[in-house]
Amino acid sequence: MTDGPIYGFDTLQIHAGARPDPATGARQTPIYQTAAYVFRDAEHAAALFGLQEVGYIYSRLTNPTIAVLQERIATLEGGVGAVCCSSGHAAQIMALFPLMRPGRNVVASTRLYGGTITQFSQTIRRFGWDAKFVDFDDVDSVTSAIDKNTRAVFCESIANPGGYITDLDTISKISDAAGVPLVVDNTSATPYLCRPIEHGATLVVHSTTKYLTGNGTVTGGCVVDCGKFDWSANDKFPSLSEPEPAYHGLRFHETFGPQAYTFHGIAIGLRDLGMTMNPQAAHYTLMGIETLSLRMQRHVENAQTVATWLEKDDRVDYVTYAGLQSSPYFKRVKNICPKGAGGIFTFAVKGGYDACVKLVNALEIFSHVANLGDARSLIIHSASTTHRQLSVEQQEAAGAGPGVVRVSIGIEDANDLIADLDQGLSKAVR
């Protein structure tokens, strides 16, 4: 659906990338549960392995079910291509892999999911990479943090856990001036609420586990490329601009142009890192995306209702939802997320850490799980779980202090959610 009429989001979320199965006429995308594919002949095999022809070789690299998902997500994000992989964490490594080398760094927001902070502050060091964490509301600090070894700027559009909205337009101007790509995790917003590429992002990453799938059944990740970054403008990105020894000196940017990053992600990233999405997971996510806009509308509507009620409750110190007029990010929502501030936020319970634990244990409709973006409403005490490995200072900077709980508001009846929180707070705060 790349040629012809310009379709709306609701149409694309159902049809983009999908065509009736040519062999059977099946209307829903089949699950191609196969490890390998038969070549037409030896010449065909050689052309595929030499990147002279596009096709299917082995499902670690490409798979027809996953290919549909990649095209659909890329279309919804406004990108030229996408690479799906096994999880959101895998997507982050996949995103950085073509950009980084030992001694290079990424400038990252302090307001990130706790697992991302750990991945960036600890794990990537084993590759010789480094991360500098900066408050992205402090524009001068972001600018100052970028140095000659910086190869990417990384943030979340709607930051997990607090639901903070990043000023992508300003941050993208800073990254553009430095000649490095802006990588935006759009998991919490989805392309329905925010399209980072339209605000200057070079790459968009997703944990497809969350809102895109929407039912808490499978894990997955995705990296989307805008196709506009000039990888050959300087010598910062040799993986894309210089000869690749594994392909007889082929230069990805010179050969594939706007598709260079996507081809590299498959031909090098998936080939060597092996972070492959399985086709059944892709099928579940395709099914979920078909109702993405409908679900996101209800997530936003319910989150607004619940957050408004919590803000007025005497047992609550504060609520971080950006859809509230009291939020410092309220005005930013209209520009970055014009269809709503998302479905996740945090609130501080009077009584601190102990009261948060009691609240989590007392709720009946809210599920206590380490996930978000489910059709069900979810709650977690980040300081004792997802952000437990961080220092108190890091927890506070990420918006996950000891006295705070994160909620992912589902698509149930909002009055039922409020009633559940009401009885839970009564037990937690006496």
Instruction: Domains for the chain: give ranges and CATH numbers.
Output: 9-288 (3.40.640.10), 293-428 (3.90.1150.10)
CA 326 to each of CA 16, 43, 260, 355, 420: distance values in angstroms, whole numbers, following the listed order: 39, 65, 44, 24, 24
Among residues 192, 184, 196, the alpha carbon closest in space to that of 91 is found at 184
Which pLDDT band holds residue 44 (cuts at 50, 70, 90)? very high
Which pLDDT band holds residue 395 (cuts at 50, 70, 90)? confident
Which pLDDT band holds residue 4 (cuts at 50, 70, 90)? low
What is the DSSP annotation of 48-101? HHTTSS---SBTTT--HHHHHHHHHHHHHHT-SEEEEES-HHHHHHHHHTTT--
* Res 161: pLDDT: 87
* Res 359: pLDDT: 97
CA distance 256 to 261: 8
Which pLDDT band holds residue 21 (cuts at 50, 70, 90)? confident
* Res 383: pLDDT: 84
CA distance 418 to 308: 10
CA distance 278 to 56: 15
49 or 384, greater pLDDT: 49
The owner of tokens 């501080």 is 348
In the predicted model, is pLDDT for residue 2 greater than 60? no
Among residues 141, 119, 143, 113, the alpha carbon closest in space to that of 131 is found at 119
In the predicted model, is pLDDT for residue 322 greater than 80? yes
Q: Once rounded to an integer, what is the mean pLDDT over residues 105-124?
A: 94
pLDDT in tens, 175-233: 999 999 999 999 999 999 999 999 999 999 999 999 999 999 999 999 999 999 999 99
Q: What is the mean pLDDT of the chain?
A: 95
CA distance 76 to 264: 21
pLDDT in tens, 326-378: 999 999 999 999 999 999 999 999 999 999 999 999 999 999 999 999 999 99
CA distance 191 to 206: 10
* Res 389: pLDDT: 75
